[in-house]
Amino acid sequence: MIDALKGLNVQPVLLTGDNKRAASAIAGQLHIDEVHAECLPEDKLKWIDDYQKKGETICMIGDGVNDAPALKKANVGIAMGSVVSDIAVDAADIALVDDEVKELPHLIALSKRMMTTIKLNMTFSMTLNFIAIILAIIGTLNPVIGALVHNTGSVLVIINSSLLLKWRKK
């Protein structure tokens, strides 16, 4: 998963309250280059703030009360695990119901695809409506055909959006 995230130009950073030796061992196994150990909740907030001041978008993944402030401050907070605290769930934008974060690269790729689809749908619908308005003003398009054009455009946008339900990165 870490390698897949790096392939999406996402730089993983480990912020943990564990001691430096344990944190370095875990980071080494996971191929995480940047580690900040022995972090208190306010230290995690400081690190997130520092990254945000550099213009970086932060996604924080956490599972406990100590992570709640950082989950709230991050651009996207993800509470994970079956035993995640209620405070972490309330602070997070997303709550995973199990300990599986392996789908995170897929979720990131899907969100990028979703934004592309939204922009495409907006451009298509606004262009179609603009053309229909111009044609209506000059008298080429009567109200009944205008309504059909508008509804057809809406259906095409919905169909295009529904393709995201089965989308998988190749």
> pTM of the prediction?
0.67
Per-residue pLDDT of the chain (170 residues; tens, 9 = 90+): 888 888 888 889 999 999 999 999 999 999 899 999 999 999 999 999 999 999 999 988 887 778 889 999 999 888 886 666 777 778 888 887 776 777 788 888 888 899 999 999 999 999 999 999 999 999 999 999 999 999 999 999 999 999 999 888 76
> Which residue reads 């035993």 in tokens?
83
Return the sign of the alpha-carbon dihedral for residues 38, 43, 49, 53.
Answer: negative
User: Residue 99: which residues within 8 A CB-CB, separation 6 or more?
Assistant: 80, 81, 82
